[in-house]
Structure 1
Amino acid sequence: MTLSTPLLAAAPLLAGLIGPALLGAAPDRQQADPPDHRAMRHEIVEHVAARTTAEQRHVLDYWTPERMAGALPIDLLDSVKGGAGLLSGLTGRTGVRAAPDVSSRRLTPPDDGVTTGVSGGGLATWLWGRTPRHQAAAARQDRESAPKRPETNTVGSRWITGGAVARTTGRVFLTVRGADFVCSASTVRSANRDVVVTAGHCVKDGAGGWAANWTFVPGYGMGGAQRFGLYAARRMFVAGPWSRSGDDNYDVGMVALATSGGRHVADVVGTQEIAFNPARGGQVFGFGYPADPPYDGHHLVYCAGRLKADPYGQSRDQGLGCEMTAGSSGGPWMTTFDLATGKGTITSVSSFKYSDDQRTMYGPYFGDAAKALFDTAEHA
């Protein structure tokens, strides 16, 4: 199957600005079951990120307001070039997946995009600028897609009701191969009160490297982007099939966070429930921080509707009618969601779209492999 890049968002590469090496990096440790085929799917690959207080402070200091504000969609990074040519594998191979009969490898950028060359450190990147038309479109979308009450069927609306989901969902800031990106994630109820769930490609570049400077900002935009603090990653976990080959059926990441101001993230913003091996189909609410127009990454957006199977049979993932764009990757999908309290049960996360159907988002099924990840992360 032909695949493309993740639904993340990236900041421009500036002259001489290459992200620091992974802090506190340690050799990946695989907790392997007996070598039968089923057990191989339940391998857990762990990465130690920022272990000490000094390392965690270094990560948080990296994210200046300017770096956070500069995030741009990652689906433009096939244009990043180096001395050896195209670095199309910069961010992993998941995200906008080409359908079996579609040759395009990515979403087409807006027709009115403005290309701007930025060079530095031997790299040149062509990024689509946000034109006044884009800004106007974002403002119009904010007005038109913010209903007075939550809807149970929407392909992308501002979440303005508040409740627990507005605090537990947050933006993730990370660095991969010197480029800065954004994703989405959610806190989950865990024994150590530190776990967030996101997409695997928001943690590790498939068979490539791990993300650096990984930071979670819960409740982003609620009375200030950092109202509830910033939380650096201390340990990261992905499934073996994702780490070995970027298998989209296992595009799930669990991250154990460091405390912020001495407090666990769960004690500050609360958590959502998480469940595994749920019945397929049914109603779901998906949340995230899309950053590509008509969205701007500063508002929590949601999609709601019934799940359907992958029509191409290319994955075991399920699809949700959803027009959220780059930056929404890793955002939680919740069943049994209470519109009044904003609490639900997470059973998937936003992962990829087919290039010929940009109105449907797909998310991995949370089976035994996802449960093994969670069980390990909550005791990390």
Structure 2
Amino acid sequence: MRSIRPVLAAASLAVVMALTATACESGGDPKADAKPTNSASKDAGSGSDEAQLPDDLDGIADRLKERGIDVDKWKNGEWKNWDKDKWLREAKDFANPVIEGLWSDERKKSAKDPHQTVSSKAASSSEGVSDPEPRPVRAEQERRPYWKYAASVGKIFFDTPEGAAVCSGTLVKDPRNPGKSNLVWTSGHCVHKGGPKGGWYRNIVFTPAYNHKGLSARALESAGPQDKAPYGEFWADWISTSNEWIDGTTATDPEGGSYEYDYAVLHVKPEKGTKSLEETVGTALPIDFSSPSPKSVDAMGAWGYPQAPPFDGALMHKCIDRPNRLSLTSSAPTMYRIGCTMTAGSSGGGWFRQTSGGKLALVSNTSIGPAGSAGWLAGPQLGDGAKRVFDTMSKKYGSQ
């Protein structure tokens, strides 16, 4: 068992914990008749000034036909074809038609995180920018029910060439549509393979406050839909991530991962005539794009659903620690790093800090951890590039 990091900045950490609860207590008790959403789908990458997004969220069939794909065949299993000619990769290519009944309990149970790791050598060859590796902080379970304390946090299920996969995500506020956000923040590697050979993942669904009672994996198997997905399941109808992630422009590994730009935002669309995701869940968290220096932050907290052993993906966990710096290359910004024993499955989960106004805000997301172990997590700084990705989505689709 790894040693646990000694308590530091105890008063500050206690404040963060308290604010986490307060920020999410406005979440509404999930309705018994919550149903999965029905929606069409699409997406874009970041962009120099603005991501190149289509004019609307409709026309999925036409978009697929442009690539020689029939939407009916796609729903009947053609989506399993990952040949290079069928794997859509450009920002304008994303398409995510709803396939009713696809995400069965069995498929969710088999889902694995396409976990991103870096070797200890890569993490230490930082040209003097990285701080010493933090001591592990033991991940602790979130209080229950999740809808009361962390309703904005949830699981993201999706398909990859290797099979069903899972990540974590956070429902975030949309300033252009106050109180009515349909935007979810996560990692780029949870939606797109990244690098010159990668493409968009498929059948992407967000489930806020998954397993809100905190049932064990065994108990969850026999639980009803309301316990597993208290607010329903929301299909992404568009996704935007950074061009750097799509192209792998600062990749430090053979797979092409530009981890410093490993972030994404999903737009989900509830059934016609129903409330927005934020109205349904009852709460959302703001994003802080100021990229604060780690030295100026007493504590950051990471939330998610770790799935790899010793965890099983059923329960929401969190780690809180003072952040430091991790640099993988001198050509890209440094990343935040904290001690944390969460494993694969927590990818994409939000990192939060207390702002000067005393409120909790999302400031990063889980991107990478150390290869062969679980002692720390790192996430990208969310600066101007991340804000452009978010603003483009908000301006174009926020009200839809």
Smaller-chain TM-score range?
A: 0.5 to 0.7
Q: How many residues align?
A: 277
Q: Alpha-carbon deviations, 1:128-165, whole Å to 9, x = none? A: xxxxxxxxxxxxxxxxxxxxxxxxx9430101155655
Q: How does 1:224-235 map to 2 (within 5 A)?
A: 224-235=227-238
Amino acid at match of 2:140: S
Amino acid at match of 1:358: A
Report the counterpart of residue 325 of structure 2 in structure 1: 309
2:105 equivalent among 56, 61, 65: 65
Amino acid at match of 2:104: T
Report the counterpart of residue 219 of structure 1 in structure 2: 209
SS of 1:290's equivalent in the other structure is: coil
Report the counterpart of residue 44 of structure 1 in structure 2: 51
Structure with greater proportional strand content: 1
Q: Is the 8 A contact 2:183 2:266 kept in 1?
A: yes
Report the counterpart of residue 190 of structure 2 in structure 1: 202
Shift, 1:168, TM fit: 0.5
Report the counterpart of residue 346 of structure 2 in structure 1: 328
Over 3 Å counting, the alpha-carbon distance change for 1:296 and 1:197 in structure 2 is: same
Shift, 1:268, TM fit: 1.3
* Segment drifting more, 214-223 vs 350-359: 350-359
Q: Alpha-carbon deviations, 1:313-333, whole Å to 9, x = none? A: 666111011110011000000
1:265 equivalent among 277, 281, 286: 277
Matches of 1:357 and 1:294, distance apart in 2: 11
Q: Is the 8 A contact 2:369 2:378 kept in 1?
A: yes
Q: Alpha-carbon deviations, 1:75-120, whole Å to 9, x = none? A: 5xxxxxxxxxxxxxxxxxxx11113369xxxxxxxxxxxxxxxxxx
Report the counterpart of residue 176 of structure 1 in structure 2: 160
Report the counterpart of residue 119 of structure 2 in structure 1: 98
2:267 equivalent among 250, 256, 260: 256
Shift, 1:71, TM fit: 2.2
Amino acid at match of 1:256: H
Matches of 1:70 and 1:202, distance apart in 2: 16
Over 3 Å counting, the alpha-carbon distance change for 1:73 and 1:197 in structure 2 is: closer
Over the residues paired in the alignment, what is the CA RMSD in angstroms?
3.2
Matches of 1:327 and 1:247, distance apart in 2: 19
Over 3 Å counting, the alpha-carbon distance change for 1:317 and 1:256 in structure 2 is: same
% identity of equivalent residues: 25
Over 3 Å counting, the alpha-carbon distance change for 1:312 and 1:292 in structure 2 is: same
Matches of 2:243 and 2:97, distance apart in 1: 30
Matches of 1:64 and 1:293, distance apart in 2: 22
Report the counterpart of residue 292 of structure 2 in structure 1: 279
Q: Tell me, which stretches of 5 or more residues in structure 1 are unaligned?
A: 1-22, 33-38, 76-94, 103-152
Matches of 1:189 and 1:226, distance apart in 2: 21
Q: Whose relative contact order is higher, 1 or 2, with alpha carbons under 8 Å and at least 6 apart?
A: 2
Matches of 1:49 and 1:289, distance apart in 2: 30
